[in-house]
Structure 1
Amino acid sequence: MKARLAASAALALGIAIGGSGCAMITYQATTEKYDASDGVSADLGTIELRNMLVVSDDGEQGNLVVAVVNTGEDDATVEFEVVDSGERFEVDVDAGDVVSLGAGDEDPITIEDLGAEVGGLVAIYAQHSGEEGQEIQVPVLDGRLPEYEDLAP
């Protein structure tokens, strides 16, 4: 009787484990953070830069497109610098707020001396409020795609 009960319990356990799918031992791709669009992302402490890209028709002048998310409890000023040209600009972001630059109703952040090839990358250094900064390799795209045709300067 005990053997039959033990066999039934082992069989039930085997069916439960087998019926749960491979989730217990298989790699879960949904746990990986990735950039779902053409831009790149970076985290600077409590500041998150999302879908960062530059739209340019000629590689000389470009429009920086980025969503700046402040997850902190203090207002922040985010500083950007185009590494090759030294061109700088700042963006103020209130605590808990998101500022979208370069798209929609927002004024574009025009980089006058981009010096990058369309289809290539441009190095942009970003930093805020005394946090350690980060150099980000940002893709340079043109207006051939419908979603970017109105974003080129």
Structure 2
Amino acid sequence: MHASDASTEATREATPAALAAELLDLWRVILKGSTRDLYKLLAEIDLSMTQLKLLHVLVECETEISVKELAEAMSMSLPNASRTVDGLLQRGLVERREDEHDRRIKRVGATEKTRVLVDRVDTARLQGLECWAADLSPVQRRRLLDALSDLPKERSQ
């Protein structure tokens, strides 16, 4: 980094847009060199990104949720969510049952197979991030770790 770069960095306002642009640049660098194994795994399990996102949502839920709630959580139409659930049900990745109070409502949840699968995907992501972090200097890793540990872990609603 040049001296003029350092002064520009020090005087640049930390707006949400400026931070978002830096995070996007970082995201691209991380993805560029750390996702080969993740993409290989995704090809192996043959799931669309929508299906994978749906499985992540279900694994994160503490209880079964209705297909309607799932559709809302994923910002997708109810028919699309229902079709996606049907496909995952055929593969044994979700369980579906009628609600005990209202038989018109279908509740869905993750299977153990899904939990294992999502853990494999998360492990591949983590390994890619570890490879990227290994290229940082110890000082860079410490500074980044300190900055990240100060951030909220959940997005406020």
- Same fold, judged at TM 0.5 (above): no
| TM band (smaller chain) | under 0.3
Looking at secondary structure, tell me which structure has more strand per residue: 1
TM-score by length of 1: 0.24
Q: Which has the larger radius of gyration?
A: 1
Looking at secondary structure, tell me which structure has more helix per residue: 2
TM-score by length of 2: 0.23
